A and B are shown apart, each in its own frame.
Chain A
Amino acid sequence: MIVGKRKDIQEIKDMLPEDMDDLLIVGCGTCVTVSLDGGEREAKSLRDLLTLYYRENGSEVDINADAIKRQCDDEFIDEIENEIEENDVVLSLACGVGVQHLAIRFPEQVILPGLNTTFYGRTSATGEWEEMCHGCGECVLDRFAGVCPVARCSKSLLNGPCGGSEDGKCEVDDDIDCGWELIYERASELDMLDRLLEYEPPKDWTTYRDGGVRSHKNPEFFGSGGE
């Protein structure tokens, strides 16, 4: 799922306009709740912390917190439409998608991001997430024994490890597993090493943002007559 990390509190505080009267903090109840940083609890916690901060600094700001199931679909946003319009500033704890969807829905409102969207990841342990996918638009996992060279190699190499792979770790950081060693081990296990010997030409990046900002339609659902 999409993983995010709440921004540093000073950064959030610095973002908020000085003459702000009311602030609405909106949490999102899906991905960022699962990555434990943008759900209702975090929204309420931020509300109370900022209230404390403004009080200590002699300002009167009215801060409210709410959460909706998702910020990337209109119907959920409908639920809090009034609330949003009643506030000066909206701080969204959703991923970049949710923040922008709100911005599209409320073109005259200041919508600020309270979260840094980081990566597509899996939960590797309670409170820990690892990057798995880049959304490159052309999945090659069948060719690499189920380990993605684009997302899990720090250089996105397609033809094998670089010379910096040491003790199974990446030259960039000791904590990072060498993606290619993961590919190699898994391919050995599955008897797929011959596949790795085949030459991989440079990737076609047109399916990624490199080919232009993306969108797609599913014709089975999109635009039936009468819509």
Chain B
Amino acid sequence: MAEYISKLHKLLEEDHFVVCSEMGPPIGADPEFIRDKCEDLKGYVDAVNVTDNQTAIVRMSSISASKIAMEEGLEMIIQATGRDRNRIGIQSDLLGASALGLRNVLCLTGDHQSFGKDEGSKNVFDMDSVSIISAAHDMVHEGELVSGDELRTPPKLYLGGAHNPFAEPFEMHMLKLRKKIKSGMQFIQTQAIYNLEKFDMWMEEMRSQGLHEETHIIAGILPTKSEFALKYMKNDVPGMDVPDELIDRVANADDKEQEGVDITVEIIEHVKQHEGVKGIHLMPVGWEEITPVVVEEADLYPRPEVEVDNE
């Protein structure tokens, strides 16, 4: 039958509703940091993202942190961004990742360096998310590099990207999404969803263009127990849409933690009903310990066991 590149690939293709999560590497060199984070996730999630110098803050690289976590038994998704490396560096990284046994990659453009502490650094952006996906696709399926040269051994990688269903103007961002899909993006992780109406509208559009069948949509979910965090996201984070009702619910709740979990589960249940939504991507910023709770309360435990021969 079909050869699956990774566990995630198999789960999505075989229509399991997947649960992904995310971990941020340390601002330091200690591998224990990563191993500790794996504890909460084992058995509760199908695949874990490791961010790549997110918000331009120097951290242990995504590939190395992912390797450490993979050795703990987790299925990993590395991230490759265009900000810090040129085409030579990125292609080299992808070959190395595959050699280390890492099989999933999220291809992103990357936050501008002004978000971090190294504003004065030179940014690269030799490739953007579309060209990273395209290059990775050619490496995997054609055995070819950007330069046109052939690879001795093509890497084995399952390709993903990100999308924000709430970004305006809507059409302009859809244009980019279509290009990513055309270039070979096999799964999407979306920005955190709070505004269900807007999410519905986006899914309508995706289905009307048949795009939900060309790529697997994984809905981004950000559990939070703080109305301040919600307000911050609403006001200060570009492209986030947070309805006031949710902020009020958390603000007025006696047990904010439970309210936060309840809201999260409601959102999960809502998105799950959509034709085309193939899973969730949990991003519990600053509240990682809640992942198992959410997975259980959303009735997504236990996770399926699958094997893939990915040597």
Contacts and interface: CB of A to CB of B under 8 A. Distances in A.
B191 A163 contact: yes
A67 B249 CA distance: 69
Contacts of B169: 181, 184
Given A161-B172, A199-B183, A202-B126, A171 B131 contact: no
A200 B178 CA distance: 13
Interface stretch (B24-32, B67-75, B107-115): B107-115
A161 B125 contact: no
Interface stretch (A90-98, A127-135, A149-157): A149-157
Contacts of A166: 167-168, 238-239
Nearest to A205: B126
B16 interface: no
A163 B175 contact: no
A164 B179 contact: no
A206 interface: no
Interface residues of B, number: 38
A164 B114 contact: no
A163 B162 contact: yes
A121 interface: no
B109 A163 contact: yes
Given A164-B111, A164-B239, A200-B131, A159 B125 contact: no
Contacts of A49: none
B185 to A, nearest CB: 12
Contact of A155 (B128, B135, B175, B179): B128
A175 to B, nearest CB: 13
B172 A164 contact: no
Nearest to A158: B128
Contacts of A193: 175
Interface of B: 82-83, 87, 109-112, 114-115, 123, 125-131, 134-135, 146, 162-164, 167-169, 171-173, 175-176, 178-179, 182-183, 191, 238-239
17 contacts: A155-B110, A155-B123, A156-B125, A160-B172, A160-B173, A161-B172, A162-B129, A163-B238, A164-B112, A164-B238, A164-B239, A172-B112, A173-B114, A199-B179, A201-B131, A202-B135, A202-B146
